[in-house]
Structure 1
């Protein structure tokens, strides 16, 4: 079974890889998930130029930009940004997994400017009312097409959707499934179970990887501490191991609760017990290997 991209060789990282961030331009399209007064700080444009100084100050030399809306036009735009930006080494895009011509759509994306930077596909499964959306026959067919294209698949799910995510990963073993934001554990609401049981079951499958990302916005935005995050980070470190765990900032969403520097510092503290090689995996190597990145920096 192959769970890594094989269409180009992976170059060794030269610094930290931020495996998860976003950009958007509200003049191009609305981000309809940014609603209400608490989300108001995000109702502005965020471009690679805004991220670049923060990333440079943190020692980040490569990044992966991730889709935000289920709009077909967004992925070509992200690929074009990656083609012209030295920081963006990979793009997690969107296409309709349920479409009969999904394989053709993926091939068309790869042929676009920046198409070689397409590394994964994602769908907003967290917004699907059906907790077993990932197990629909047409979705499983689409996931198989993603694998055949040499791409990974990013899982953005809520904790109650983790069992279906595990079943999908078992059904398509040739595809690498990347769990975004640890599966969104309810940190602010209380203890780690039953999330921890479900995430350990997912991690038991060898074709799964996890992003150490999104924790600060699942905690209390105003009062979170590293100790609040620690049980969840410890769980995925134990379940996946450093070789299947990758750091992601979730910028600019993280700004609701923490700065870019604070998010990276928290991740460093949560992984302080790791040795140098294990830390290098979390902060660069796992992302490079899983996504087949070729960092430009």
Structure 2
């Protein structure tokens, strides 16, 4: 089914939820991860005002903005952004999960302007040299505090870190773990293992969810096609099912490989064989339910 045909078939669908995007202002703080020639196009400011026209043109009615740096000041800024926006419905922020006072920090964040929009916490686990960082006792204690606070934990990890994700999800059944970007499979090479087996093991835990996001930047930025993405999308669709899958644009990182509308069109094509109710889950229902939007 073409994107245009899919659009017609879903003409009565509710507004889409984009469950994963970012904003940053380099005059406020550097984004130290944006280095090298490949990332040079996104080494500039990106604001909600830049994104809003894309959202409205695409029929996106709500978003979740996600942290980018591991500094405590960013999360209050994102909460304030949500407080003043009719688009940002949720914030996945950052706090130091290894501190013994995590519960107090979370409570304090919720008292800030926009604090009711805090829906989850993410740590840049992909940058941790220890593949079992999530299993450390101090991290486990912090994750348990998230569960007690009714918040989710977004997992931004590399494929070799997925086994630890499955283990911690089994140890903490009361915490919802949200896998960002399918666990970053090596789409550019076409390889599927050991990623596919590891992601299926994670999906076997009922307290896990996956974002259909980040695929275009794991593929060849210049030549990717929907067919390149399909084996990976099919894997998570089969493993998690539509009620545990949510669309995310990963804007503006996604602009390295595609326009906003192209990312959304690709996701619609990849889910074109689902029933209308199942597509509504992927494009809004799952995010609303998991994040309590």
TM-score, with normalisation over the residues of structure 2?
0.95
Alpha-carbon distance in structure 1 between the residues aligned to 2:191 and 2:227: 13
- Distance in 2 (CA, whole Å) between partners of 1:191 and 1:184 is 12
After superposition, where does 1:116-131 map in structure 2 within 5 Å?
116-131=116-131
For 1:162, the equivalent position in structure 2 comes to: 162
> What residue is the counterpart of 1:292 in the other structure?
292
Q: Distance in 1 between matches of 2:63 and 2:39?
A: 24
Residue 185 of structure 1 aligns with which residue?
Answer: 185
* Rounded Cα–Cα distance in structure 1 between residues aligned with 2:126 and 2:191: 21
Q: What is residue 4 of structure 2 aligned with on the other side?
A: none
Match of 2:280 in 1: 280
User: What is the 5 A alignment of 1:218-257?
Assistant: 218-257=218-257
Aligned-pair CA distance for 1:284: 0.3
1: distance between equivalents of 2:58 and 2:27?
Answer: 29
Whole-Å Cα distance in 2 between the matches of residues 144 and 30 of structure 1? 31
Over residues 11-48 of structure 1, what are the superposed CA-to-partner deviations in whole Å (9 max), with x where a residue is unaligned? xx940000000000000000001111111111111110
Displacement of 1:189 = 2.1
How far apart, in 1, do the equivalents of 2:31 and 2:126 lie? 16
CA distance in 2 between counterparts of 1:182 and 1:251 reads 16
Instruction: State the distance in 2 between where 1:101 and 1:144 align.
Output: 12
Q: Which runs of structure 1 show a deviation greater than 6 angstroms over 4 or more consecutive aligned residues? A: none
User: Are residue 34 (structure 1) and residue 34 (structure 2) matched?
Assistant: yes
Structure 2 residue 77 is the aligned partner of structure 1 residue 81: no
Deviations 1:26-71 (A, max 9, x none): 0000000111111111111111000000000000000000000000
The yes-or-no answer on 1:199 pairing with 2:199 is: yes
How many angstroms apart in 1 are the aligned matches of 2:61 and 2:46?
A: 19
Secondary structure at 1:46 match in 2: coil
Counterpart of 2:121 in 1: which secondary structure?
strand
Check whether the contact 2:14–2:280 (CA below 8 A) recurs between aligned residues: no
Q: Which residue of 1 aligns with 2:7?
A: none
Number of the residue aligned with 2:3: none
> Which 5+ residue runs of structure 2 have no aligned equivalent?
1-12
Contact 2:21 2:252 in 1 (8 A): yes
Contact 2:72-2:95 at 8 Å conserved across structures: yes
2:93 match: 93
Aligned length: 281
3-state DSSP class of the match of 2:33?
Answer: coil
Corresponding residue for residue 270 of structure 1: 270
Q: 1: distance between equivalents of 2:280 and 2:161?
A: 30
The one-character-per-residue Cα deviations of 1:134-169 (angstroms, maximum 9, x if unpaired) are 000000000000010110000000000000011011
What SS class does the counterpart of residue 51 from structure 1 fall into? helix
Q: Measure the CA separation in 2 of the matches of 1:167 and 1:97.
A: 17
CA shift for structure 1 position 190: 2.7
